[in-house]
Structure 1
């Protein structure tokens, strides 16, 4: 491990406390401020403090030979912050862009080595910087540090703020202990302010969206993500749902067998998201621009709704659908929590009942579409009455691409 004076690390932990935990939005997955459903960062910080006490209390007069620990009997070699190096296993991603902020994401796990690995009490400290140029030169527009740990599968999600509307940015993460250990550079952007006239959105150039849905790992390589990122270079990537599938499949013809079992527990969902994000094209697409995502059903299970799925509910029979024995409510919360850990998506409030729909007003360019008859009629009436003839409506989950003209009934 890298040798770092323990008093420096102890001071860092004591000074920042829960601030560096709270800055990582993954700890609030999926709800903000509800410790029963999100992580209690104060409790996690207390765990770190307890570790620090074990490092600093004078042990004269004690013999530790009968108290073997993960690091051995000598507590002096246990770090307050992990200092053994990190691996950025899944590159970087960004998402949910506003006109002055965007979310940045990465995952950093303890580096593989023959030496000891951190126990649950040791946080990893990461820094981030965002720039207005691909060389990452000059002063960073925004920067900061945050903790991650095993509690959130070593994911990190922070909000970069103070940005300019309709502007392209480049960002990178680094190990706080070793700033030379860095992630790949990601590209992102903000959207126009809500009051921007349509002809001035994106600097007057066409705004390009890459739209995806229904991506099942065992059925084929994710080449479509790569084609969009390499050849189309869209301004925004939009995923309409079924980013992952909970089902099993051996992918026999191409060797894309999914790991694990049918998803039920938090470990299951994390493993599946982990595997999906190893696809080269998907990883590059996440590096290439901000994503706006929404789930459908397979992010939890087939035909899922608030009270169950096609093969599980909260009855005795439903709780036994898989070897895990998970009831649906537990399965749902596991899927939603893992999704918010692994995706660059803004957290929701518990009062909104797992609401995931958000509003991204890109200047005066784009009408939200809710798909219900009364809403549709009001929208179409507005378009007809105001002679608006260039509206595009996006939807998904038909497993095909369709282009249709919408007409108002007289």
Structure 2
């Protein structure tokens, strides 16, 4: 992994990058030559044969996610007119059979599984294939086909077998506002060739276009299912985002903007009698556009998104949902300390059931590293530099008792190395977590790494927030630039590189490593290496 990436937006990614660009045409010929391809070449042999040819149906690319030792989710969505205002991507109101194929090589000379799935209008012609029966810890290539049209090729991998301690390169990201700039950071992340990618929320934004947008946002503020489908599709047309989806499996969780800013369970930011309908629409569109398993399919206003992915014996990824079950933000959702509500032991950001699930996972873990993949700042953060105090009520500081129970569970359980990965705040931060931040002498519990945004907030600044750092001695790093975080897990240490881009309001910015921290096995402390 180099410290600086200077390749332009059209350069390749490693030796296999050809499959991410022009290999669809090559793959089409190979597919037609297989037994399955001969039967499926014009839809023959599949239910619904003869329903008509589609024009460029794979405009939204491909993705994979939620890897297990023997399987992974494969995703695509048919959309020949991806940004159609009705949200249906230019598709007829009928189901289409879609062939899928998994191979051990990028030319599909060694196929291991193939089959077909329905792309139905009820789910915006999205496809979620839960492949099973693969080898643990193995790399695979996959693609889809409708008639004579073949999708781009994606690369994925299965999780290692239980107990395996091999290294893992992982990148995580958050907050990609289409109007605020170009998604170059996704391309730079893909160029790092990670084995796994975490997206921690604000994958898309609900806002309509504004005069200051770098790129034009289509449609009104998202409120209906058609609005959300169109908005997701516009984001998915971005080639840099498509590339990042195609190089590795993703684990995704939402934050607020996938639905509406700062929503909390059934409470919208502003009074809205139609909010629950809006929430249901947002959940449906999110599922349709993400590589999620059927266990995450929404049921009305409910959707089970928190889940646990085990990466051999190296890491457990506890992916949280801090929106759907939380109490409304305290103190009018503002900043301040003169409000006792944030200390109320009954206030929750996780909900009681999810909190039990987290703590049960801590007690039963055998992993070397336990990672909370979640949305909002976990550590205590006094944002009012100087003698006063100010806290973000939308973050865990608005739910102090809930936070302390999780931190204590991390410190006093089978967790060997507790780590929190966070998004939301459009800045890079690094912090050491204590059992209770209101008692500075309490034992260390873990470490927190916060990623900046992909684009949200524009190019950023050279602001240092030195006063805030001085008031929060457990916080060790801050940077206001766009980018992502690259990590390397091993049995002995966790290495964390804060990757930054100087600009996103133009295409093609290089990425560099702004800072590097190392956490040694068994020592919840940040050691700066760069």
TM-score by length of 2: 0.53
Aligned residues: 305
CA separation of 1:269/1:10 partners in 2, compared to 1, >3 Å: closer, same or farther?
Answer: same
Q: Decide which of 73, 91, 96 is 1:124's aligned counterpart.
A: 96
* Equivalent residue for 1:156, pick from 127, 137, 149: 127
Within-5 A mapping of 1:338-357: 338-347=285-294, 348=296, 350=299, 353-357=302-306
Displacement after TM superposition at 1:342 (Å):
0.8
Aligned to 2:78: 108
What does residue 236 of structure 1 align with? 196
Deviation at 1:160, TM superposition (A): 1.5
Q: Could you say which residue in structure 2 is the equivalent of 1:19?
A: none
1:126/1:399 CA distance change after superposition, 3 Å: same
Distance between the aligned counterparts of 2:77 and 2:259, measured in 1? 22
Secondary structure of 1:260's counterpart equals coil
The Cα of 1:382 is off from its aligned counterpart by 3.5
Q: Which has the higher contact order (CA 8 A, sep 6+)?
A: 1
For 1:211, which of 148, 154, 172 is the aligned residue?
A: 172
- Give how far 1:294 is off: 0.1
1:406 paired to 2:433: yes
Structure 2 residue runs of 5 or longer lacking an equivalent are: 1-41, 83-89, 316-369, 379-402, 436-441, 444-530
1:328 corresponds to 2:275? yes
Cα offsets for 1:371-398 (capped at 9, x unmatched) = 6211211211337xx8x4x553312222
1:362 and 1:157 map into 2 onto residues whose CA distance is: 22
Pick aligned residue for 1:257 from 208, 216, 220: 216
**Higher-Rg member (1/2):** 1
1:276 aligns with 2:244: no
Task: Give the superposition deviation at 1:282.
Answer: 0.5
Residue deviations 1:287-320, cap 9 Å, x none?
Answer: 1111100011111101112213113433xxxxxx
Q: Greater strand share, 1 or 2?
A: 2
Other structure's SS at 2:280 match: helix
Distance 1:355 1:154, change over 3 A: closer
Counterpart in 1 of 2:345? Answer: none
Alignment partner of 1:247 is 2:274 = no
Q: Which residue is equivalent to 1:226?
A: 187
Change (3 A) 1:393 1:171: same
**Partners of 2:227 and 2:81 in 1: CA distance:** 23
Alignment CA distance shift 1:219-1:86 (3 Å): closer
Distance 1:9 1:398, change over 3 A: closer
* Structure 1 unmatched ranges of 5 or more: 1-7, 14-47, 49-78, 199-203, 315-326
> Structure 1-normalised TM-score?
0.68
Other-structure match for 1:363:
312
Determine if contact 2:276/2:301 at 8 Å carries over to the other structure.
Answer: no
How does 1:24-103 map onto structure 2 within 5 Å? 81-83=51-53, 86-103=56-73
Aligned residue in 1 for 2:5 = none
Number of the residue aligned with 2:471: none
User: Is residue 191 from structure 1 mapped to residue 151 from structure 2 by the alignment?
Assistant: no
Deviations 1:144-174 (A, max 9, x none): 0112133322221211111111111100111
Change (3 A) 1:169 1:197: closer
Distance in 1 (alpha carbons) for counterparts of 2:300 and 2:217: 35
User: Which residue of 264, 268, 276 corresponds with 1:309?
Assistant: 268
